[in-house]
Amino acid sequence: MRFVLLALLVGLALLAAAAVLYRRDNDAEIAELLGMAPWSPEKDDKEAKDDKEQSLSAMTGRAVDLAGQAVDRVDGKRSLTDLLERAQVPLRPGEFVIVTIAGCLGIAALLMLVWGSALVAAGGAAGAALITARVLRRRVTKRAKAFTAQLPDALSLVASSLSAGHTFLRAVQMMCEESAPPLSEEFGRLVAETRLGDNVTEALERMAQRLQVRDLDMVVQAIRIQQTVGGKLADLFHTLSDVIRARDEVKREVQILTAEGRMSAYVLAGLVPVLFLMMRIINPTYIEPLYSGMGLFVLIGCAVSVVTGLIVILKMVKIEV
């Protein structure tokens, strides 16, 4: 049985790795067709791939396509696609689902191999899925915060370039050359879309919708009003930069004032599992009744109450500015 689980673990890991490599191969082929791929000696050996690698690539591609179709049917609003794009994860929804499922089942097989308990294996798989979703959303939040922190300086730089006589697109391009990701990536995409014939305002609106940053929404609305009523765009950007900096100072002050409440929530929520582990180590027989009968309902109720209390306290100390 253990050898079967180990084989399953290895197979799932290979499937996940194949999905990622399949994505990289597709990106390389697209870049080569567009003339964007640099020359390398490996190109000369590309036609020397054996039939086994080609069949593996075709099988992986078919699995990715089926997973993508399933995701499209379930996720009609394309929320997973938007989330991956906002997090800058270089995977399609089908590829991400395959990698996630393979990782969760691999962790479940590993826990089953070590502990020999199906309940522990199921809990590990569910926990891995929740952690993956949390990490993805955390990456989106971190990227949005970094963009917000860079935005005031970027607006000031664009305003200075406009005052010097440059056009708006040239000013944005110069700002991208001086800035760091993620701001340079997003505005670089804006410049590329505009060069392909898109309208500047529409490209800005798509960027604001993609990032979901309130300060960027304010910038887009200000640019639209300026194009309607006229005025100096450089002065407008200087004013927006000052307003965003002032709001950022207020946000930081609020974070300082609510730090005690957040710390209290984390301490109170973490106190219960720490005490449970200490009791399990010191006197294991004392908590054995909790593992059967009504004890299981007590443990579930305790976990629900702790999580509910944590959510309530965090909601209380969360103040929108």
| Tokens linked to 275 | 């005490």
- Classify residue 158 by burial, with Cβ atoms within 10 Å: 0-12, 13-18, 19+: buried
Angle (CA) 13 14 17, round 5°: 85
Contact yes or no for 210/82 (Cβ under 8 A): yes
Rounded CA gap, 302 and 283, in Å? Answer: 20
Structure tokens at 29: 């082929």
Q: Pinpoint the alpha helices (H) of the chain.
A: 2-33, 51-74, 79-87, 93-115, 118-163, 168-178, 183-195, 200-211, 214-229, 233-257, 259-282, 294-317
Cα distances (angstroms) measured from residue 174 to each of 146, 150, 219, 279: 19, 15, 18, 61
DSSP 36: -
Tokens 């993609």 correspond to: 210
Tokens 């939040």 sit at which residue? 141
Q: Is 181 helix (H, G, I), strand (E, B) or coil?
A: coil
pLDDT of residue 221: 86
Domain boundaries, the chain: 2-39+49-116, 146-247, 258-317
Average pLDDT of each block of 10 consecutive residues along the chain (321 residues)? Answer: 54 53 49 45 45 50 66 74 82 81 82 76 84 89 89 90 87 88 87 85 86 86 82 86 89 89 90 88 83 82 90 87 68
How high is the pLDDT of residue 267? Answer: 92
Token pair, residue 12, equals 């799932």
Residue closest to 19 by CA, chosen among 90, 105, 86, 110: 90
> What does the CA dihedral 122, 128, 130, 135 come to, rounded to 10 degrees?
180
Residues contacting 64, CB < 8 A, separation 6+:
19, 22, 23, 92, 94, 95, 98
pLDDT value of position 33 = 45
Distance CA 149, CA 288 (A): 51
pLDDT for position 84: 84
CA distance 207 to 213: 9
Give, in order, the Cα–Cα distances in Å from 43 to each of 49, 221, 291: 11, 48, 61
pLDDT at 68: 66
Report pLDDT for 12: 56
Sequence-distant (≥ 6) Cβ neighbours of residue 151 within 8 angstroms: 183, 213, 215, 216, 219, 244
> How much is the pLDDT for 64?
64
CB of 61 closer than 8 Å to CB of 86 = no
- Domain 146-247, architecture per CATH: Up-down Bundle (1.20)
At 202, list the tokens: 């529409």
pLDDT at position 165 is: 86
CA distances from 156 to 22, 184, 213 (A): 42, 15, 18
